[in-house]
Amino acid sequence: MPVTIADTLLTWQTGLFALGIYFLTVLMRRTVEAARPSLRDSKVWRDVLLPSLPVLLGLLVAAALPMYPYPEAINAQATRLFYGLTVGGGSGWLYKVIKALVVKQWGVDISTDDKPPVDKE
């Protein structure tokens, strides 16, 4: 049976990879913003660099960790790098989706920034 995109991307390896990219992104964001608090108000930081960070980290992690247990179809360097780009970008998108669902369903803000919670009343 041929391997489909869903077979490749809907695996524990992809979930773990995306979660790792998410945590690396949060770590880098907090470190950079602690060192340079003025960046929080920068449009370039918020609108260009932060959304690009998971994609770039996915690429770097895929390049740096060839021994990671990638899904079976990810068996060459080029596919591994594309996998890193795709899962990195997907992790940023998935975070936004999950955040919106959690806020809508339970009214809990799971943001990674340090803003005080918004009172819904």
pLDDT digits (tens, 9 = 90+) for 19-57: 899 889 989 999 999 999 999 899 999 999 999 999 999
Q: What is the pTM of this model?
A: 0.78
Amino acid occupying residue 42:
S
Count of domains forming the chain:
1
Q: What is the pLDDT of residue 61?
A: 95
Whether 96 maps to a domain, the answer reads no
Task: Say if CB 25 and CB 57 are below 8 A apart.
Answer: yes
7 closest CA partner among 58, 73, 65: 73
Query: Is 114 within the bounds of a domain?
Result: no
Q: Is residue 112 part of a domain?
A: no
The reported pLDDT for the residue numbered 3 is 75
Domain that holds residue 19: 5-91
Query: In this predicted structure, what is the pLDDT of residue 4?
Result: 83
Domain-embedded: residue 18: yes
Q: Look at residue 102 and tell me if it is in a domain.
A: no
